[in-house]
Amino acid sequence: MELHPIRTDADYRAALKAAEAFFDAQDEPNPASKEGAYFDALITLIEAYEHKHHPVDPPDAIEAIKFRMEQAGLSVADMEPYIGPRHRVYEVLNGKRMLTLAMIRRLHDGLGIPAEALIGSADRLAIAA
């Protein structure tokens, strides 16, 4: 079991195949064992390659809000404390109204939506208190 940097797609596929054997096993290896250290290092190399060559863009602000609503079973009415009156919630969710800084703060503080997801799309941000 020798580790080396993952530089090509062929290296990547080989690393995934090696990691697959660990995932197919019933139990993960003991982290203190040589096998566990190998597995940990292999996963780190795979993640670094994926981060560099297959980055995942953060969600659009509206998609992040809709996802959190679905996840928590929230209705449009439940969003009023964070966004404003019901018609405003609909406008935001349909992309017809931009998020304000105050809305972003309330959504982040109240629902735990990452601020990066809410401000990542500059066209959805209106600088207003």
Task: Note if the pTM is more than 0.75.
Answer: no
Q: Tens digits of per-residue pLDDT, 6-62?
A: 999 999 999 999 999 888 777 778 888 898 899 999 999 999 999 999 988 777 899
The pLDDT value given to residue 1:
66
**CB contact at 8 A, 3 and 43:** no
Q: In angstroms, what CA-CA distances link 37 with 30, 51, 97?
A: 8, 21, 50
Q: Which domains does the chain have, with CATH numbers?
A: 9-53 (no CATH), 61-126 (1.10.260)
Cβ neighbours, 10 Å, residue 39: 22
pLDDT at 121 > cutoff 70: no
Q: Is a pLDDT exceeding 90 seen at residue 123?
A: no
